[in-house]
Amino acid sequence: MSASYHINKAIIEIVQSDITDQQVDAVVNAANNHLWMGGGVAGAIKRKGGVTIEQEAMKLGPAEVGTAVLTSGGNLKAKHVIHAVVMGQDLHTDEIKIRNSTKSALQLAEQKKISSVSFPALGTGVGGFSIFHCAKIMITEAIEFLIKAENVKLIRFVLYDDETFHAFEEELKIQFTTKRHPG
């Protein structure tokens, strides 16, 4: 299942899949501020991409919540992992942390001339944040970012389960039917 919309010369996509299988320039990891990779998306990336991703990340930490750091993609199909620091050691997050870490991940991709990025639903696993609220925050940030972006041409939200996929799909439809976006 998938849905996509154009903004300027870029695309926002929503797909139901495994983020570790994405063939993009970078996948985004929902990271904690010490950048160790335990469960959820981080654990899946570490299992498939190798422990070197975590080792590289931890050398860059601790990092401030709301920022992002870049490592190699290890054994993943993606060349890089962007670690969006969405929570502290308490493993809880909120709207501001999700908004800021999404922005930071996109700005880092733009700065490093990364053209395609796959995001999970940040903070909705161990962070316990609402998938519906997360979808609204992340899609809003992605749209606002792509209006001005020069290097990033694809933002793909990769959602693992039906409920999260449908929450993001519905939010994307709402944003494109109620607001005017340059397409």
pLDDT of residue 3: 84
pLDDT of residue 42: 95
What is the enclosing helix (H) or strand (E) of 81? strand 80-87
Q: For the packed helices 162-178 and 131-148, what is the interaxial angle rounded to 10 degrees?
A: 50
- 151 to each of 28, 109, 112, 143, 170, how far by Cα in Å? 17, 8, 9, 14, 27
Q: What is the pTM of this model?
A: 0.95
Q: Is 160 exposed, middle or buried (0-12, 13-18, 19+ CB in 10 A)?
A: middle
What is the C-alpha separation between 176 and 6, in angstroms, rounded? 10
pLDDT of residue 39: 87
pLDDT of residue 63: 97
Place of tokens 């909120």: 94
Binned average pLDDT, 10 residues per bin, the chain of 183 residues? 87 97 98 94 96 98 97 98 95 95 98 98 93 98 96 97 96 82 53
pLDDT of residue 50: 98
What is the C-alpha separation between 109 and 94, in angstroms, rounded? 23
Domain 2-178 CATH class label: alpha beta
